[in-house]
């Protein structure tokens, strides 16, 4: 990757705490891991910085509670950050801190420049709407209004994620877990975003279903050359898809590099443990 390449997404010093903090934890003194036992504040993301480059899959791995989902929620404006900056190449040429934009502008960014797939399909889909209706919802949010065009685009997308087009009118609640994730992926891709956020998309699925969804993501990524941030607690998932990887522990990025390098020569003790458990 060329050093002068412009990142699609750039995150600088992102912090997210749940709670007000107190005199004891504000300088880190009383913290137990990322938690202050005196005032109960959780420091879920601590000074997280990274870039995502065009067409790359950036993996984020870490144990449960390490702050991965909070980070993704902040990136998608589902949560307000406590501090930090985010820049998108496709938004004012990467010159405006997204976190300082109005909620209306943030909605625009979310609808036009990003797609997100949640671990829990209930978060990403209306279970009683038709599948194609779920896709149309995102298209409408991104400014579409031509019904015929949305219908065509919806069918094209369902086809892309291997959902039989004749099932387009069925609601996701009738679908298996793997199919629900496929519908979420179709929806997230519908507005042709340059950036896709995937939070534990295969967690909880049967291994064979997990593999087929990961294969789908891989082939879509190649076809569309989209940039992806892929979050998982499972280094096996990250290994399958991520070009580069960040390792999070207790809200901090403790290690980052090419995925192959991290797998071959992990530096941090925690990463060594993760890699070891994969073998
Ligand atoms: N809404 C919330 N209120 C309070 N604490 C939260 C909230 N959401 C997450 N946390 C805490 O933030 C930390 C990071 O959680 P999370 O981002 O879900 O981790 P991960 O996705 O890596 O498992 C955890 O300690 C969690 O309990
Ligand atoms: Mg999570
Ligand atoms: Zn405190």
* Proximal ligand: closest to the CA of 21: 3
pTM of the model: 0.96
The mean per-residue pLDDT over the stretch 149-178 comes to 97
Which atom number of ligand 1 is nearest to the Cα of residue 251? 14
State the pLDDT confidence band at 2, using cuts at 50, 70 and 90: low
Which atom number of ligand 1 is nearest to the Cα of residue 248? 22
pLDDT of 230 strictly over 60 = yes
**Which residues does 279 contact at the CB level (< 8 Å), separation at least 6?**
none
The mean per-residue pLDDT over the stretch 248-254 comes to 98
Which atom number of ligand 1 is nearest to the Cα of residue 34? 25
Q: Answer yes or no: is the C-beta of 70 below 6 A from any ligand 1 atom.
A: yes
* Proximal ligand: closest to the CA of 61: 1
Q: Answer yes or no: is the C-beta of 231 below 6 A from any ligand 1 atom.
A: no
Tell the residue nearest (CA) to atom 16 of ligand 1.
67
CA angle, residues 79, 106, 124, in degrees to nearest 5: 60
pLDDT of 242 strictly over 80 = yes
Model confidence over 182-201: pLDDT tens digits? 999 999 999 999 999 999 99
Tell the residue nearest (CA) to atom 9 of ligand 1.
70
Q: Which of 41, 46, 70 best tests ligand 1's pocket when mutated (most atoms within 8 Å of CB)?
A: 70
Mean pLDDT of the chain: 96
Model confidence over 119-144: pLDDT tens digits? 999 999 999 999 999 999 999 999 99
Q: How far apart are CA 196 and CA 113, in angstroms?
A: 9
Q: Answer yes or no: is the C-beta of 44 below 6 A from any ligand 1 atom.
A: yes
Q: How far apart are CA 76 and CA 140, in angstroms?
A: 18
pLDDT of 220 strictly over 70 = yes
DSSP track, 93-105: GGTS-GGGS-HHH
The mean per-residue pLDDT over the stretch 239-265 comes to 98
Q: Answer yes or no: is the C-beta of 45 below 6 A from any ligand 1 atom.
A: no
pLDDT of 100 strictly over 90 = yes
- Note the helical H segments in the chain: 68-75, 103-113, 121-124, 131-141, 147-160, 177-189, 207-224, 235-241, 259-264, 269-278
pLDDT of 279 strictly over 80 = no
Tell the residue nearest (CA) to atom 11 of ligand 1.
44
pLDDT at 200: 97
Q: How far apart are CA 134 and CA 128, in angstroms?
A: 9
* Proximal ligand: closest to the CA of 204: 2
Model confidence over 3-38: pLDDT tens digits? 578 999 999 999 999 999 999 998 888 999 999 999
- Note the helical H segments in 36-124: 68-75, 103-113, 121-124
pLDDT of 87 strictly over 90 = yes
Q: For ligand 3, a single-atom ion, which residues have Cβ within 5 Å?
A: 22, 24-25, 36, 38-39, 41
Tell the residue nearest (CA) to atom 25 of ligand 1.
65
């Amino acid at each position: 990757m060329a050093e002068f390449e412009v990142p699609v997404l750039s995150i600088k010093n992102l912090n997210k705490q749940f709670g007000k903090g107190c005199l004891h934890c504000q300088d880190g003194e009383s913290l137990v891991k990322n938690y202050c036992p005196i005032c109960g504040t959780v420091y879920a993301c601590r000074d997280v910085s990274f870039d995502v480059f065009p067409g790359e899959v950036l993996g984020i791995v870490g144990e449960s509670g390490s702050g991965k989902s909070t980070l993704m929620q902040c990136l998608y404006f589902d949560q307000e950050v406590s501090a930090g900056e985010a820049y998108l190449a496709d938004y004012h040429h990467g010159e405006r801190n997204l976190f300082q934009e109005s909620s209306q502008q943030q909605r625009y960014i979310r609808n036009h420049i990003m797609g997100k797939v949640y671990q829990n399909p209930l978060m990403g889909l209306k279970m009683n709407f038709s599948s194609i209706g779920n896709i149309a919802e995102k298209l409408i949010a991104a400014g579409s209004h031509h019904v015929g065009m949305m219908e065509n685009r919806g069918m094209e997308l369902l086809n892309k994620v291997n959902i039989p087009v004749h099932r387009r009118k069925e609601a996701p609640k009738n679908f298996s877990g793997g199919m629900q994730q496929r519908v979420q992926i179709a929806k997230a891709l519908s507005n042709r975003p340059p950036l896709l956020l995937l939070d534990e998309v295969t967690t909880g699925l049967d291994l064979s279903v997990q593999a087929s969804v990961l294969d789908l993501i891989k082939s879509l990524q190649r076809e569309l050359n989209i940039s992806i941030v892929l979050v998982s607690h499972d280094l096996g998932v990250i290994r399958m898809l991520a070009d580069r990887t960040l390792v999070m522990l207790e809200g901090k990025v403790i290690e980052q590099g090419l995925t192959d390098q991290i797998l071959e020569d992990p530096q941090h003790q925690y990463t060594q443990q993760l890699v070891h458990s994969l073998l």
